[in-house]
Chain A
Amino acid sequence: MSETTNDIAVRIENVKRHYGHIEALRGVDMQVHKGTIFGLLGSNGAGKSTLIKILVGSTRPNAGTVTVLGLNPFKEAGKLRNVLGYMPQAPALYEDLSARANIRFFGAAHRLPQLDQKVSQVLEFTGLTNRADDAVGGFSGGMKQRVSLACALVHQPQVLFLDEPTAGVDPKLKETFWQHFRQLASEGVTLFISTHLMDEALLCDRLAIMRDGEVLDCDTPKNIMLRGNTTVKIWHGALVEQQTVTEYPTQLPAVLARYGLDPAITRLDLEQDSLETIMVRMIGQTAPATTVEAPRVTVSKN
């Protein structure tokens, strides 16, 4: 086995899945490297949850193959269970049981040695120690998400699939979650996270943008941001000249060079498209977004 193959945690090849007439996935290809945070970004119905369900073995694809750590989730499920963690979109917890009892139950499936100690560790990791013995039914949405995350972590998996883990979570807790995710990735855990939140997507090492069961783009967030436009506003006193450039790192110098060090310029504003704008534009395009528009400079005078 080559070193490159060993480095791949998740491999997805031409995966298709339909529900009746609805095509949830239309031939998805992806690779995720070990120890990275991979984000799936897309609006509702893009196929993110379906893809994750296929990867954890709870939904079968109609075509294509997937492997997680080189194992088929359907044919080698038994081997995969101990190294795979899954946090579904819904909390999927027993509300009448305590946080500790929930985590202990799912941990016991893996027959872990020193289970109680591991349960205490994840309770501490997710900041639940003080509420460990309270019934989950009385928890807020964010607290339930924490318990759900703890359930996915208790057996210390090597690959973690998180389906919209911060949905309904307040910004402070979201930040805490991401600190956990970064820590896990630094320890070598691969995280596969679906989200529809732009700020969250930018925190991933790599990002796939999905629409209607297709991957529109798959790259680092930095490179995806470069697909957007940058609006340059050049102020000459009260007059504003506006130019739009694509791929600003290479095109912006040309725009600025045109003006040189003109003392009449009183102010310079750069406004970069947000990830949301880029995504909306990609989704709106009829042609696949993988054909990136050639860099161009447009000049307009106000």
Chain B
Amino acid sequence: MSSQVISIGQPSRAGGAFASRTATVVKRVLAQLLKDRRFLALSLVAPLLIMYLLKIFFDSLGNLAPSRYIVPVGALIIHFLTYILCSIVLVRERKTQTLTRMFVNGFRRSEIILGYLAAYTVLATVQTLIVLLELAWMFNLNYDLAKQFSIYLVIWLLAVISIALGILLSNFSENEGQMLPTIPMVILPSVFLSGLLIDVDKLPLWGQLLAFLTPLYYANNVLQALIKPQGSLGDQFASLAGLLLYGLLVLLLATLTLREQEK
């Protein structure tokens, strides 16, 4: 093996390097996901089982109009599952020092975050599709194709944001144990404050303010408008924009708070 002399400070095409290194992270994470068959199977079976339990729950309620709740609850389940998807993985990377090694080898924060997000989005996309197909089949949701696509788009967007939120909060955890308490801290406010169970304007002011911090608040607003007979994506444009902005903000914060150096 002979040593190669590399000229220091060699100019490189920044955009190309960014795309190439991000794609490298995506490929590596996907390869790891495919190797972990049990995780993959559980990730796909869990939403199926949970949706079936939801069907039993709604059937037992009888007189409760399911259409008001079914799709938003489907969104909540996706939010929950995708939030926990990759949050632990980055903590593990920090603990085993592979994250340090990535930085020393030249991976940048944005490349790592986007790489993880993109790889887990592949899994989240499949999960979202499973949930919506099962919902439509079990509850006989007769939406037209455009509406189905709109619902899918909103929930998929929520899934991607939930992954980013998981990454953001994992940046503040030193180990898996510290990450676990964030799961109820994120999910329970979404259940009670997002407008899923009761309208947000019936909450006290502090509750209404907290609702803005849950991505499900924005997604629920859009979905509630969408599931109405004449509803469309544009009906809750502000909430849709809010959801997008929320996602961008979380992604930006996740990138900025990923520590390149140890404390």
Nearest 10 CB-CB pairs, A to B? Answer: A81-B106, A156-B4, A92-B97, A109-B105, A187-B3, A108-B24, A92-B101, A86-B104, A109-B106, A79-B9
Known: A151-B101, A158-B5. Contact between A109 and B107, CB under 8 A?
Answer: yes
Contact for B262 among A59, A97, A153, CB less than 8 A: A59
Do A94 and B106 touch (CB < 8 A)? no
What 1/0 flags go to A165-188 for Cβ under 8 Å of B?
000000000000000000110011
User: In the complex, which residues of chain A have a beta carbon less than 8 angstroms from the beta carbon of B28?
Assistant: 94, 97, 101, 105
Contact for B3 among A53, A79, A108, A158, CB less than 8 A: A158
A-B pairs with beta carbons under 8 Å apart, 5 shown: A59-B262, A86-B101, A96-B32, A110-B106, A155-B105
Interface set, chain B 101-138, CB cutoff 8 A to A: 101-107
Cβ-based interface call for A111 (8 A): yes
Interface size on B, residues (CB 8 A): 33
Interface set, chain B 206-263, CB cutoff 8 A to A: 260-262
Most chain B CB inside 10 Å of its own CB: which residue of A53, A88, A105, A125: A105
User: In the complex, which residues of chain A have a beta carbon less than 8 angstroms from the beta carbon of B102?
Assistant: 106, 109
Contact for B24 among A56, A86, A105, CB less than 8 A: A105
Interface set, chain B 16-32, CB cutoff 8 A to A: 17, 20-21, 24, 28, 31-32
Contact for A88 among B12, B17, B100, CB less than 8 A: B100
List A residues at the B interface (Cβ < 8 Å): 53, 56-60, 69, 71, 74, 78-84, 86, 88, 90, 92-94, 96-97, 101, 105-106, 108-111, 121-122, 124-125, 135, 151, 153, 155-156, 158, 183-184, 187-189
Do A97 and B31 touch (CB < 8 A)? yes
| Cα of A126 to Cα of B32 in the assembled complex, Å | 24
Known: A83-B8, A92-B100. Contact between A97 and B24, CB under 8 A?
Answer: no
List B residues at the A interface (Cβ < 8 Å): 1-6, 8-10, 12, 17, 20-21, 24, 28, 31-32, 35-36, 96-98, 100-107, 260-262
| Cα of A84 to Cα of B1 in the assembled complex, Å | 17
Interface SS of B by simple majority: loop
Known: A78-B106, A82-B106, A83-B8. Contact between A97 and B32, CB under 8 A?
Answer: yes
Do A58 and B104 touch (CB < 8 A)? yes
User: In the complex, which residues of chain A have a beta carbon less than 8 angstroms from the beta carbon of B24?
Assistant: 105, 108-109
Do A188 and B21 touch (CB < 8 A)? no
Known: A78-B106, A108-B21. Contact between A71 and B8, CB under 8 A?
Answer: yes
Contact for A188 among B3, B12, B20, CB less than 8 A: B3
Q: Which residue of A is nearest B5, CB measured?
A: A158
Contact for A187 among B2, B17, B31, B103, CB less than 8 A: B2
Interface contacts beyond A59-B262, A156-B3, A158-B6: sample of 8 additional A-B pairs, CB < 8 Å, sorted by A: A59-B261, A93-B96, A97-B32, A108-B24, A111-B21, A187-B2, A187-B3, A189-B3
